[in-house]
Structure 1
């Protein structure tokens, strides 16, 4: 029979996510993680394993708590282009308000992504986002708000690039208008692929 855990695993994982977001993988010491998670070293190791295992679990928990919720909203949208615009707008707002950035994007831009297993997890997370954007764009073609010849795969990557840029550059605190200009540039490419724009 397993030992009873006398701590809140969700709260502890939230602490790990906060630590990795703020400091990054390499700068987050086990002592930092113990403090943020409210655990002693023995409890941390017994419950979550070593630092790399903890990081991978934290990244998965972060995906469930943030990116996958945004993806679900995109997938449920009746108006996919409006949903994409709302999606980018929300990324701008949260990025401008929180200089710690996104754990997924921060990890992609840091040396931790050189680790094969972590790189696969980060690449998979970004791939989930690209796939969701592509699905939304394909629905827009089906509904007629994008032209049949619209380069939807390229547009999905433009949008993903905008998300990554907004998240990375927000850490330098350029301000909401500056970040919004990145989103507006990506949305302008969508508008350029509307039936009316391509017909003109």
Structure 2
């Protein structure tokens, strides 16, 4: 009879994700992971596989949590403009627990060009985010809040590119006030000119 696990997989996966997020894939050793996750090396291998397999699982974990969080935030907004502002706020201010920029942007910039599995996973997250943004833009166009001078696809692409840029900025010493100002200006550009 096998031993029961002495840890919660979700909890230790979250810990692994946070360590990869803070240090990056290359700088994180198996010893670092074992120590940070608080489990034995054998348990880590038995449950998650090697370092690369664990990393891919942390990308999936991030995707699930972020998708739920964005959906929740957007469901609490009344207008498309409020939704866009809420997304900018998440991107600019993140959370105190994870102040290391965007995990997916970090993964894409560190590994996607040389790791096909990471590229596929990060592309899937980007497409999912673009889909949410496009729905928001369409909502704004249908209500007359956002301009129809460009297609929803074009506006969603521009907005997503801007948000990715903001996420890169958050990894620097960029002034949050400047990023908030950028968000406000972008929302003004989206609005219909009556």
Work out whether the TM-score is over 0.5: yes
Post-superposition CA distance 1:115-157 (Å, at most 9, x none): 1111000010011111100011111122221244433212112
CA RMSD of aligned residues (A): 2.2
Tell me, yes or no, if the aligned pair for 1:101 and 1:167 is still in contact at 8 Å. yes
Shift of 1:24: 0.7
What is the match of residue 103 of structure 2?
A: 103
Shift of 1:59: 1.1
The answer on 1:150 being equivalent to 2:157 is no
For residues 96 and 160 of structure 2, what CA distance do their matches in structure 1 show?
A: 18
Residues 183-194 of structure 1 aligned to structure 2 (within 5 Å): 183-191=183-191, 194=192
Tell me, yes or no, if the aligned pair for 1:134 and 1:156 is still in contact at 8 Å. yes
What is the match of residue 6 of structure 1?
A: 6
Aligned residues: 194
**Runs (5+) with no aligned partner, structure 1:** none
Tell me, yes or no, if the aligned pair for 1:96 and 1:173 is still in contact at 8 Å. no
The answer on 1:54 being equivalent to 2:60 is no
Larger helix share, 1 or 2: 1
Q: Structure 1 runs of 4+ off > 3 angstroms?
A: 75-78, 95-99, 147-150
Q: TM-score, normalization: structure 2?
A: 0.89
For residues 147 and 183 of structure 1, what CA distance do their matches in structure 2 show?
A: 16
For residues 178 and 95 of structure 1, what CA distance do their matches in structure 2 show?
A: 18
Using the TM superposition, name which of 22-31 and 175-184 deviates more.
Answer: 175-184
